[in-house]
Chains A and B, each alone.
Chain A
Amino acid sequence: MFLNLQNITKRFGDLVAVDSVDLNIVEGELICFLGPSGCGKTTLLRMIAGLETLDSGDILQNGENLAKMPERDRNFGMVFQSYSLFPNMTIGKNVAYGLECRKWERHQIDSRVDEMLALVNLEDQVGKIPSQLSGGQQQRVALARALAPKPLAMLLDEPLSALDAKVRSALRLEIRKLQQGLGITTIMVTHDQEEALTMADRVVVMNEGAIVQVGSPFEIYDDPSTSFVADFIGTMNFLAVTTLDDGAVRLGGAAIKCGKWSIGTGLDKAARLAVRPEDIRIYIGSTPLQNVIEVEIDWIEFLGSIYRLNLTFEFDGKKQGLKSELSSTLMRELRLSVGDYISILLPEEHLWVYSQ
């Protein structure tokens, strides 16, 4: 275990920014703190960095307590959201800064700077000043600067959020490759789920200062432990239901069998049924079947390779809607149009039940 966060809490006045967090970070992994803005990700990262003091709890690095160690001795490389390259220094000087602080020999510094700039493909920019570079280039310099002193870990706070979409996806890949190539333990903060899912070995989903779920990207997508995670990661339909016994819920007039329960079963409790758009299937048969309901097509959106359908159904005067996704090929065969009534199958193994 590289880093061990034990019961960490941080308050700003009355606000609990980070609430009793326990987490183990493994050597060499890229772990991502993901959550909505203001949920405490940055604060948690800054406590690990040593830029923020803990109100309670401990951080252990390979068993050693970091509490008394100031940030400059921790040897973590940090990349800030706003790049924060020193505007009065050239790119080369920026990258050399950490090495000069560590009193490296001049020739060692020079060769390390060349090496780092080559790593981020900016060898030819060594003499420029930060404002002469594009945002993406500046962020790569920031990476090179953070990595130059051979840090024990790399901390990234929303490193891509100030960049435009194209640069962002290119740099996403670059950072991941760099991280894997060096095998450096990396903690990244983001509010962008796509970024977290594509880059991380493990994702830590946070809400209101607390950890909600930790798992691989696939796990948190495929098996969200709470409705918050289900809602935050990917797209999810939520439908109001009441529970029946024997692992089923009542949706409108139909009984629907559900595979995954996050609440205890019991009769007649109000609950939420969750299903992802891509898991909804069109049912063409005519014999009634378990978990099939009839819906009206309210709207059709063409998104290129797929179509998105807005479906509605009504029961007891209460209207509910859900989204589903169909491949373009299937759509062509079925010739659906707005106003059509169709039957859909909600597959038991992809249905979650969460509390209200």
Chain B
Amino acid sequence: MALTIKWPETVSRISERHIKIGMTLAAAVPLTIFILYPLWAILKLSFQHTDGSWGVDNFSQYFSDPGFVKIISNSFTVSISATFVTIILAYTFAYAMRRSSIPFKPLWSFIAMLPLFSPSLVQALGFQLLLGRNGVINRTFGTELDIYGFWGIFLSITMYALPHAILMLSAALAVADSRLYESARMLGGSNWRIFWTVTLPATRYGLMSAVFIVFTIVITDFGNPMVIGGNYGVLATEIYNQVSGQANFNLGAVIGIILLLPAGIAVIVERWVSRHQSTAITDGSVPLVIKPNRLFDSLMLAFVVLLCSSVLVIIGTVVFASFVKLWPYNMSLTLANYDVDVQGGYAPVWTSIWMSCLTAVLGIIMVTIAAFVIHKLANSLTKFLYFLSILPAAVPGMVLGLGYIFAFNDPDNPVYMIYGTVLLLAINTIYHYHAQGFLIATTSLKQISSTFDEASAMLGGSFLYTMRKITLPIIWPAMISLGVFFFMRAMVTLAGVIFLVNPSNNLAAVSVLLLDDAGETSQAAAFSTIIMVVVIGVLVVSQGIFRFFKVRNVSLIS
């Protein structure tokens, strides 16, 4: 439904139209420049030969090379395996959180979320420290375990994708109509049977969405295969090698397009699936009351403890290694690793924090404008703007980053003015995560039913008075959580910005990769720890603010 908006009194009827046009442009122009144009640039380049002529030679060259084809099959093998295992683990974990009566649930949830608070490659770093050539296991027991390759990627990427999947599946399992369960039990169904006939079907859409989202996360992840992939090449690392290693931009564009396809298809299917979601619960639904069950609860607790320990061991190893003199030979404690002497010292941390703040502030503004225009102005353009807004969900960070090189590393383009600056890094991060941010903003805008504006106007409130007394007080917590979301992503993102950083504005997450690459594993661990501390610190502070103002129902992790 189209909502009418009340403009300030001073605004005459004619300029009301102008304001609407202005706002639509404020949403449309950046979406076009920072999403559509870079993708167009990458598409164009993939069809352009090194001599400047056009055709599909890049693609035929790519597919005729058995080495490249192997990389595609590697990517799919490891992604499908990791998706499969992630979903089973995450479903079981979410089931334990929502449908069992085990103790300390908030603690387990927090531990399982830890991988979200650090760059993806921290998982790989942890596995490397434990099981790598110079890992503590091989060194202690004299074994020759080789983690590099399929198994390394599989394990680290599974752990990295786990919290994302848990968040989605918990949401799917959170709602349940106890009447269904009662009637199933009245009909004599065993618990096992009820699970297969009631629970699983009720969560099938959430489950399918999670499968596709996890697949996208896994196939586009770059940090983990970089660190622990060894000779097992995958698409994401191959782009990096082609572009950064061999400066073969055309081939990089081709791989980008190949990577865009599965991720794009996965996201389109997920969108289609999620449209069928959330009709199962009606007003008359009765929430499910969970009854304790000794055996079941013990099994669930055992599983949850095992999973959380694995996460803690991996992340704990990284944190611990950051305080160790020479892993794994000299395990005495030291702070020396925090005295970073290469890669510009602490500068990348400050750049990261500055960039993340910029991303949070600009992200709130840009995404809110887009959500506002798309949901409240509803004109012929907004359908397309909606498409642009959620398109980034299908675009791997590396592909967008590569697109930014092609689009903006060109003195003729006005954006070139900010090329190589922290501002462009922030913009890249905003549009890389635009889809999720957009959904958060939309949800919060929907909270302000248009009747609040109208009720206020009928009572004599002016536009600004309504804004100050009603709109802002209602939506600020959601705005904060949107900002926290962008801040978190900006602190840990790697894939999107890897092509855009330069030595003068390096980011902490990139430093972790470079330090690890240079063999400075302990300093990489120290940097990772700093990132985690900053992210968790921001979360704790925001949570404290929410507590203080008694804000409920606003989640900081999404």
Contacts and interface: CB of A to CB of B under 8 A. Distances in A.
Interface of A: 49, 51-52, 70-73, 75-78, 80, 82, 84, 86-88, 97-98, 101-102, 145-146, 149
Given A80-B451, A84-B449, A84-B451, A71 B458 contact: yes
Contact of B459 (A70, A87, A88, A145): A145
B478 to A, nearest CB: 12
B230 interface: no
B237 to A, nearest CB: 49
Q: Which of A73, A76, A80, A149 has the most CB of B within 10 A?
A: A80
Contacts of B469: 86, 97
B4 A84 contact: no
A263 to B, nearest CB: 40
Contact of B4 (A52, A98, A149): A52
Contacts of B456: 86, 97
A75 B457 CA distance: 10
A72 B449 contact: no
Consensus secondary structure, chain B interface: helix
Contacts of A75: 460
A81 B552 CA distance: 26
A84 B452 contact: yes
A97 B459 contact: yes
B163 to A, nearest CB: 31
A146 B456 CA distance: 10
A76 B458 CA distance: 7
A101 B458 contact: no
Given A52-B4, A84-B449, A86-B452, A101 B459 contact: yes
Interface of B: 4, 6, 9, 449, 451-452, 454-462, 465, 469-470, 473-474
B454 A80 contact: yes
Contacts, number: 63
A51 B5 CA distance: 10
B454 A51 contact: yes
A146 B452 CA distance: 13
A51 B459 contact: no
B452 A101 contact: no
A71 B454 CA distance: 9
B462 A86 contact: no
A82 B470 CA distance: 17
A127 to B, nearest CB: 14
B470 A86 contact: yes
Given A82-B449, A84-B449, A86-B470, A97 B458 contact: no
B462 A72 contact: yes
B50 to A, nearest CB: 54
B461 A97 contact: yes
Contacts of B460: 72-73, 75, 98, 101-102, 149
Given A97-B456, A97-B461, A88 B451 contact: no
A80 B451 CA distance: 8
Contacts of A77: 458-459
